[in-house]
A and B are shown apart, each in its own frame.
Chain A
Amino acid sequence: MESGSGSLDKVFAITGNPNSGKTTIFNQLTGLHQKVANYPGVTVEKVAGTVRVNGTQFTVIDLPGTYSIHPRSPEEKIACEILCGLRPDTPRLQGVVCVVDSTTLERNLYLALQIRELGLPMLLVLNMADEMKERGGAIDQQQLAAQLGVPVVSTVGNRGLGVSRIRDFLARQAALDHMPICVGIPSGRPDPPEVRDRYHRARQIVAASQTERLRKPGLQDTLDRIVTHPVLGTALFLAIVIVVFQSIFSWARPLMDGIQVLFLWLSGWVKAHVEVPLLRSLLADGVLAGVGSVLAFLPQIFILFLFIALLEDSGYMARAAFLMDRVMKKIGLQGKSFLPLLSSYACAIPGVMACRTIENKNDRLATMMIAPLMTCSARLPVYTLLIAAFIPQTRVVGNLISLPTLALLGLYGLGFGIAVMVASLLKSSVLKSQATPFILELPPFRLPSARTVFNTIWNRCRFFIRRAGTVILGISLLLWVLASFPNTGDIHSSAAGSIGRVIEPVIRPLGFDWRIGIGLITSFAAREVIVSSLSTIYHVQAGDTGLTLVETVRMQMTPLTAVSLMVFFALACQCISTLAVVKRETNGWRWPLFLFAYMSLLAYVCSLIVYQGGKALGLA
């Protein structure tokens, strides 16, 4: 190993129980210098970041939160392999930072003791120091360090207190010349005596180092009682869901309008100042129409991820799983399927990856197979466009909810309802399994830290923006070329027109014309691309009409077609990235192909029923 002045190839890992504040500490250490490499082609497993200390840099990997490093679930296996230096894609570790929640020291020490047994240089971080103090607890750090044989620091993660001492540890370890070696590699499953021994040791350590015991938290109990109350809790759950959806529509509106106005203005500027007609059309109809129409949805995605991050970090999400377990069990799944499914409302990719926390293989597969039916944020642009075009802004149910919100809720409900049916079908046939234990920690309610929430949202939005700048820009350009050439002045005889007409017979029964057909094809790259595609096609076809996309769509589609199209989007698996991540997670083509086949069939049949049924009823 070269002994350079500390560099990115010096790698550390952060471990800890879930809810110990691990992510918060990681964010404090790395700031925005993070790489969430979780998309096909890059390593799925790790969130890695760069830490700078006095001009030198190291890499820190945020391992999945676990209670034990005995490899049982795929997540624990990854954590264990990285810790032991067994993964070819990750360099051996220079040291480990183990974050523990000081308010549940004994339980957290179980993992800390396991990690210490690996023999790597280790730092114990006593996080949640403020909460412990508030509840009258105190820990003798020196005594704890002596008992454990590793250095100890105490921190308040969300306020960044004590984090500099973690940096000092990293710098100190990185300065060492030799590469530490992991000595104890855990086997498949610990036996009961082993667990007992470790807990026995943990109890001794706590007895020796905890100088004041903690009082029971009073406020927590009250909150917990309300949130899990049969009536109040359920009402709160529904209220939260409704508030999330309502705000996606009303709060995001001004921002979205702003972005649209900006792009209209840019487009107008291009039209006025670019002389060459072809270039003018390329910029205005290809680039700006395509990218602008998708970027306009950034505010909605921002709000959705904001809510998910808040619910998760505050500790509410676990209560939701607690409330939902019984219901999930009915359809053959479990409370733990709830989080992957909820994440899938943002995006199926993290959702599918979150399935790793489900130990039972069949439960995991069943959850993965229905995750893409949850209404992901990429569907929102499509829904928003069509709803805005065809559903009037009337208020219903005593002025409480607007009709568009109701329509949106209906679409979310459709995806969910079908998912429930698919899950029970799968679980009662090919994926039948024994009921699995459901063990879930209900963490204390905590004020989410602005920084962690912001980081989560930033990582998601960055991904979305990057996609708008690459995939969506590329497709918009390609489409513009296809729609503009051969240049006869009529899009119908262009290359895109020809392709569209080839597939038109297949989709005609669903009420879709060739332009929607092109949109459908392009949306395989990403669902929201259909919005930019339609925008580009209508633009090229009609030239600049001065109309917004919503107004254009209103003229070009019938309401029944719009409904059929929304149903199609609700059910079809138009997302190559999702299929790729399912292939990765299941190690083969079988499940992604099955996923694609069943969802496409479902979408086709349901749209067919909607359109033909609607026509038969004279709705046209």
Chain B
Amino acid sequence: MTIIFSFGIIALVTKTLDRLTEGETGVIVGFDLPTDTQIRLMEMGFLEGHEVTLVRFAPLRDPLEVDVLNSRISIRRSEASGIRLRQFG
């Protein structure tokens, strides 16, 4: 987890999608995924600059239900951990 201080007071926190708690929102800043997977996610609306909300985890904490562009998409932790987010912390 990286912490970037800007303006001294407001901290911009980056973390991966799987580290959000249920109900938390972040903005996508980048991917650490194989290109194919990245493009598939991008075509479903997971794009840099887009807001995503972690809605919930499935009973065994995998996969995750994510809200992006007003629709609900389910992805696995393994992919979610490759999506980097920016959050106002």
Contacts and interface: CB of A to CB of B under 8 A. Distances in A.
A478 interface: no
Contacts of A225: 56
B49 to A, nearest CB: 9
A16 B58 CA distance: 28
Contact of B43 (A67, A234, A440, A442): A67
A533 to B, nearest CB: 46
A106 B70 contact: yes
A326 B60 contact: yes
Contact of A214 (B60, B70, B72, B76): B70
Interface stretch (B1-9, B12-20, B34-42): B34-42
B21 interface: no
Interface in B17-50: 36-45, 47-48
A441 B74 CA distance: 6
B53 to A, nearest CB: 10
Contact of B70 (A103, A229, A318, A439): A103
A442 B42 contact: no
B58 A326 contact: yes
A58 interface: no
Given A189-B39, A442-B72, A335 B45 contact: no
A110 interface: yes
Contact of B40 (A106, A323, A325, A439): A439
A103 B59 CA distance: 28
A228 B44 CA distance: 22
A277 interface: no
Query: Chain B contact residues: over half helix, strand or loop, or mixed?
Result: mixed
Nearest to A198: B43
B58 A195 contact: no
Nearest to B55: A224
Contact of A228 (B56, B75, B78): B56
B78 A107 contact: no
B48 A196 contact: yes
B84 to A, nearest CB: 15
B70 A192 contact: no
Contacts of A421: none
B21 to A, nearest CB: 15
Interface of B: 36-45, 47-48, 55-56, 58-60, 62-63, 65, 68-76, 78-79
A72 B44 CA distance: 14
Contact of A441 (B38, B73, B76): B73
Interface in A281-327: 318, 321-323, 325-326
Contacts of A110: 43, 45
B76 A325 contact: yes
Contacts of B74: 318, 321-322, 325, 335, 438-442
Interface residues of A, number: 41
A214 B70 CA distance: 9
B38 to A, nearest CB: 7
18 contacts: A67-B43, A70-B43, A104-B69, A106-B45, A107-B45, A189-B39, A195-B47, A199-B42, A199-B45, A199-B47, A224-B55, A225-B56, A230-B59, A233-B59, A321-B74, A325-B76, A329-B76, A441-B71
B71 A107 contact: yes
A202 to B, nearest CB: 9
Nearest to A103: B70
A107 B38 CA distance: 16
A437 interface: yes
A176 interface: no
B78 A325 contact: no
Contacts of A50: none
A228 B57 CA distance: 9
A190 B43 contact: yes
A189 B36 CA distance: 8
Interface string A548-562: 000000000000000
A323 B59 contact: yes
A104 B69 CA distance: 7
Interface in A69-120: 70, 72, 103-104, 106-107, 110
Given A318-B74, A441-B74, 10 more contacts: A103-B70, A107-B45, A110-B45, A190-B43, A196-B48, A228-B59, A233-B59, A437-B76, A442-B72, A443-B71
Nearest to A440: B74
A523 B17 CA distance: 52
B48 A228 contact: no
Interface in A436-473: 437-444
Contacts of A72: 40
A435 interface: yes
**Which 7 residue pairs are nearest across A and B when measured between Cβ atoms?**
A230-B59, A442-B72, A326-B60, A104-B71, A195-B42, A107-B69, A437-B37
Contacts of A441: 44, 71-74
Nearest to B60: A326
A189 B39 CA distance: 8
A527 B48 CA distance: 53
A104 B70 contact: yes
A68 interface: yes
Interface string A188-216: 01111001100100000000000000100
A167 B25 CA distance: 43
A182 B42 CA distance: 25
B78 A435 contact: yes
Contacts of A103: 70
Interface string A229-248: 11001100000000000000
A315 B68 CA distance: 18
A223 to B, nearest CB: 12
B45 to A, nearest CB: 5
Interface in A322-346: 322-323, 325-326, 329, 335
